Structure 1
Amino acid sequence: MNDAVFHPIEQLSGLLAQGKLSARALTRAYLDRIERYNDTLNAYVAVYSEDALRQAEAADTRRGMGLALGPLDGIPLAVKDLCGLAGRPLTAGSRTLAGQTAATTATAMEKLLGAGAVILGHAQMVEYAFGAWGVNPLLGTPRNPWDAAVHRVPGGSSSGSGVAVAAGLAAAAIGSDTGGSIRTPSMLNGITGLKLSAGRVSLAGCVDLCHTLDTLGPMARSAWDAALLAGVMAGADPKDPRTLHTPQPPIVARRAPGLPRPLSGKVITTIALGSLPHALAPAFAQAYAETAAHLRGLGATVHERPLPFDLRHMMDCVGQIISCEGYSLYDAVVRDASTPMGNAVRQRMLAAESASARDYLRLQIAHRHACDTWLDWMRDTDALLMPGLPITAAPLEGLDESSTALSIYTRPANFLGACALALPAGFADGLPLAVQLYGKPADESAVLEIGVALQDVTDWHLRHPAL
């Protein structure tokens, strides 16, 4: 059972279907690991053991009667502490919301529960989901499990979700991504994370930060797992009007079993490393080049092409949009110095205090223009291979939280309206490396299909830390 907690959902689901594993035993295994390791890792802010075991027993009963709800039935998940579960605490990682409980269950959570998922608990996060490093000075910063000697950052803002999956405290987790908050902790923790296009998954019942850019999505062991979870959560919801005006094609990750070149016909663009905002260190450049080589070997047409965008400018614009919308929601809390709030998050929101309506509207116009340009530029391309992060997980001690080092290759996806898949791609000094695939809006299936093919010929996603 110790090994089973690190299996992808695809494998766990097969074991459940074959009767070789029960959902209760699997849930108990994750709960035992949470009890053993969470005090050190701080991945969970709340654990719902009794409810989880009851949900698992119900899943076993359904399977025993031949009524399994699908491949997610009986699979234990963690959910970020901004996803409402009726009657449960909902604090978005902030002491300013202490005592608040969710009046309703978020639509996306209802869909997961309806598919039979077992909810283990709420995962730790950066206050109000505004921070890439994963630091939470008031509730504690989760510990990156890849270094037992040094407390390294987990990445944020879905910090606890990333740590929970990497450390075998959940089969997968749900995070949110406004400027990289799913992909950054996924990449720093060596797991797979999917940022869906805005409007693909309902945000009803979730704590808001930035309505323009907020998205929910999966953090999992594999691209196949991410596709399964995304497919369950996605779809139109009258409670979130954005979903009613967003294309909602099915999300699937098709395989071509037995074919030596399963990506034949796919066109993937790469970037000349010399045109990046700063040079990638050798290990990062090697991971990028090796991924491109794998794609060619799988039959894809891979060609280099200059970007018509300024990555650093887009990164800055995303930060400004988040600040403006976050400040508009939480200005009373932010401006009151007596409220229990971390200084770094407070300062990020206060950055919008002097922003004018004209400033904000210009950002929105630039965002819409970038989305149109991206759609046109991607017309004959299935995906853009992007670097992951330019650094590995940094030590928490001495960290400069004002640095945007983790955001240069993540935030542009949000500004462009792209979907994006973060994939493990190697290690440097024992710490995970990663790459990303950017895709067209609402074309998650394309990047997921590429991700599945890559992971069928590599094993980076199957490696896990030794705790």
Structure 2
Amino acid sequence: MSDLTRLTAVELAALVAEGQTSAVEVTQAHLDRISAVDGQVNAFLHVDTEGALAAARTVDDRRAAGEPLGPLAGVPVAVKDVLTTKGIPTTVGSKILKGWRPPYDATIVQRLAEAGTVMLGKTNMDEFAMGSSTEYSAYGPTRNPWDTGRIPGGSGGGSAAALAAYEAPLSIGSDTGGSIRQPGAVTGTVGAKPTYGGTSRYGLVAFSSSLDTPGPCARTVLDAALLHQVIAGHDPRDSTSIPAPVPDVVAAAKLGATGDLTGVKLGVVTEFSGDGAEPGVLAAFRESVDALAKLGAEIVEVSCPHFTYALPAYYLIAPSECSSNLARFDGVRFGLRVGDDGNRSLEEVMSLTREAGFGPEVKRRIIIGTYALSSGYYDAYYGQAQKVRTLITRDFTAAFEQVDALISPTTPSVAFPLGARTTDPYQMYLADLYTIPANLYGGPGISVPCGLSEGLPVGLQVMAPTMADDRMYRVAAALESVVGTLTPPAL
């Protein structure tokens, strides 16, 4: 039998269901792979060996008893450390939650367990999901398996790197401004941001509540669609959850895999197809656009003029919401507590705890957000940013009256070297230039590999109307049928 860690989730599930291998064997193979290579990658913050093997044995027992198994039963999955896991450390990449073991599971974690997937552990991330490179983790940076001297994207670099390093066939990320799609692009994997409200935020440690969206990461479009189907759907515990059926993303991915896009109209975003991206990225994107046209898609240019204001609007809205959400980390209720020697006031303990517990990027965004929300500046900054958000939504609405989906590069550049942008926050923020508009709008977006530039992966982004997630899967799968999947150099 071929190396189990190199198989897709679909292939692994079939082998387990047919009894050709066991879920325990599949799980052990991935645990062994983690032991062998994660010292070079640092994709995982916590590996739950005992829990993973116990979950795998449960799947094997169910199969032996003749019980029906779901389409991903027995398949290992890595979970970004932003989702709560009962009794398993959830740190959000921060010192302020070091060692915290939540008393409950996030809805998505529950659904993964109910589907028979096997959680391997928790993956590394930029602290509180604030970053584009996974260099802002309090537990050290994650490295890109394509070149361990380069970043794997962020904030969910651990989830993407685990896939590219063959440590897991599936993973879960969260996307606030591109934190699933951007890591997918620079690691040569598939990352999908569902429609906001299409996946539950219950148990997701909040960064920016009106933007945060959990979603699937995989090495193939069909694997991502199957994982999407498992985790999506209405959750009454999340007030922003959409009470509507999940689009049939699996059928759409299978349809796209036939390579037929006849009747599909795709809009190339004018503002994202010219200056601002590396020449190699643009070349790979344009070749992919030609490939989509050969598959039958009609390609037109669509102008979304307010997309150029998305970056500054995002960096007012997201920090404002983060300054509110992170107020709960006060050294009293849970997590780190510093200076509580009986001689200090609550305010002093709170200040010392936050000073020691939060990293520089989190502090930077809290300060920006607090300023933007302060008296006298609210209307000038936060209020104006929300108006821009409305204009961006109108751009999307007008565009989708003309086309079925929009396409653009996912990132302006390939993976950059570790340390190259940590001293220049603005350059770091530019990594999410093309992904942020979909978050401000609330619609779905997916990144799929579309080639190489200088030997490093390039991603193409597909954006669709809200609750039309199936459209993006069809287009992404069609491109994948031509480009194929990318294989990084061996670690």
What TM-score range do you get, normalising by the shorter chain?
A: over 0.9
Equivalent position of 1:56 in the other structure: 56
Q: Of 281, 291, 294, which residue of structure 1 is paired with 2:291?
A: 294
Pairs within 5 Å for 1:403-442: 403=427, 404-442=429-467
Structure 1 gaps, min length 5: none
C-alpha deviation, 1:68, in angstroms: 3.4
Contact persistence 1:238–1:244 (CA under 8 A): no
C-alpha deviation, 1:12, in angstroms: 2.0
1:278-323 alpha-carbon deviations (Å, 9 max, x no partner): 3433321221111111211211111223x23333311111121110
Equivalent position of 2:475 in the other structure: 450
- The answer to whether 1:323 aligns with 2:319 is yes
Contact persistence 1:288–1:435 (CA under 8 A): yes
C-alpha deviation, 1:246, in angstroms: 6.3
1:237-277 alpha-carbon deviations (Å, 9 max, x no partner): 1100111456744433436779976211111111347x757
1:359-390 alpha-carbon deviations (Å, 9 max, x no partner): 33443343244324412320242211111211
- Give, in whole Å, the separation in 2 of the partners of 1:257 and 1:175: 25
SS of residue paired to 1:224: helix
Contact persistence 2:125–2:137 (CA under 8 A): no
Equivalent position of 2:168 in the other structure: 170
Most deviating of 80-89 and 344-353: 344-353
- Give, in whole Å, the separation in 2 of the partners of 1:350 and 1:374: 31
Rate the CA distance shift 1:260–1:344 in 2: closer, same or farther, 3 A.
closer
The residue type paired with residue 464 of structure 2 is: G
- The answer to whether 1:78 aligns with 2:78 is yes
Rate the CA distance shift 1:168–1:323 in 2: closer, same or farther, 3 A.
same
TM-score by length of 2: 0.88
- Give, in whole Å, the separation in 2 of the partners of 1:95 and 1:170: 26
Most deviating of 311-320 and 350-359: 350-359
Q: CA RMSD in A?
A: 2.3
Most deviating of 391-400 and 67-76: 391-400
- Give, in whole Å, the separation in 1 of the partners of 2:174 and 2:33: 24
- Give, in whole Å, the separation in 2 of the partners of 1:115 and 1:198: 22
Contact persistence 1:217–1:230 (CA under 8 A): yes
C-alpha deviation, 1:57, in angstroms: 1.6
- The answer to whether 1:395 aligns with 2:393 is no
Matched residue count: 462
1:371-430 alpha-carbon deviations (Å, 9 max, x no partner): 244123202422111112111111113433502220111111111222101011111222
The residue type paired with residue 301 of structure 2 is: E
The residue type paired with residue 456 of structure 1 is: S
SS of residue paired to 2:90: coil
SS of residue paired to 2:133: coil
SS of residue paired to 1:418: coil
- Give, in whole Å, the separation in 1 of the partners of 2:490 and 2:260: 33
Equivalent position of 1:349 in the other structure: 366
Equivalent position of 1:371 in the other structure: 393
Most deviating of 292-301 and 158-167: 292-301
Rate the CA distance shift 1:330–1:15 in 2: closer, same or farther, 3 A.
same
Most deviating of 376-385 and 335-344: 335-344
Rate the CA distance shift 1:272–1:104 in 2: closer, same or farther, 3 A.
same
SS of residue paired to 1:338: helix
Contact persistence 1:260–1:298 (CA under 8 A): no
Rate the CA distance shift 1:258–1:455 in 2: closer, same or farther, 3 A.
closer
Pairs within 5 Å for 1:27-426: 27-136=27-136, 138-148=138-148, 151-244=149-242, 248-254=246-252, 262-272=260-270, 276=273, 278-305=275-302, 307-331=303-327, 338-356=355-373, 357-358=378-379, 359-400=381-422, 401-402=424-425, 403=427, 404-426=429-451
SS of residue paired to 1:73: coil
Most deviating of 173-182 and 352-361: 352-361
- Give, in whole Å, the separation in 2 of the partners of 1:123 and 1:32: 16
Contact persistence 2:91–2:98 (CA under 8 A): yes
C-alpha deviation, 1:434, in angstroms: 1.1
Give aligned-pair identity as a percent.
Answer: 34
Rate the CA distance shift 1:451–1:398 in 2: closer, same or farther, 3 A.
closer
- Give, in whole Å, the separation in 2 of the partners of 1:132 and 1:427: 20
Contact persistence 2:257–2:478 (CA under 8 A): no
TM-score by length of 1: 0.93
SS of residue paired to 1:435: strand
Contact persistence 1:247–1:442 (CA under 8 A): no
Rate the CA distance shift 1:130–1:62 in 2: closer, same or farther, 3 A.
same
Rate the CA distance shift 1:259–1:244 in 2: closer, same or farther, 3 A.
closer
Contact persistence 1:42–1:141 (CA under 8 A): yes
Most deviating of 342-351 and 156-165: 342-351
- Give, in whole Å, the separation in 2 of the partners of 1:415 and 1:437: 15
Rate the CA distance shift 1:2–1:186 in 2: closer, same or farther, 3 A.
farther
C-alpha deviation, 1:177, in angstroms: 0.2
Most deviating of 122-131 and 65-74: 65-74
- Give, in whole Å, the separation in 1 of the partners of 2:2 and 2:280: 31
- Give, in whole Å, the separation in 1 of the partners of 2:292 and 2:17: 33
Equivalent position of 2:341 in the other structure: none
Contact persistence 1:144–1:163 (CA under 8 A): yes
Contact persistence 1:264–1:299 (CA under 8 A): yes
SS of residue paired to 1:59: helix
SS of residue paired to 1:317: helix
Contact persistence 2:256–2:474 (CA under 8 A): no
Most deviating of 443-452 and 388-397: 388-397
1:31-54 alpha-carbon deviations (Å, 9 max, x no partner): 001111122211111011111111
- Give, in whole Å, the separation in 2 of the partners of 1:97 and 1:421: 30
The residue type paired with residue 100 of structure 1 is: W
Most deviating of 292-301 and 248-257: 248-257
- Give, in whole Å, the separation in 1 of the partners of 2:256 and 2:466: 30
Structure 2 gaps, min length 5: 331-349
Rate the CA distance shift 1:415–1:122 in 2: closer, same or farther, 3 A.
same
Rate the CA distance shift 1:326–1:182 in 2: closer, same or farther, 3 A.
same
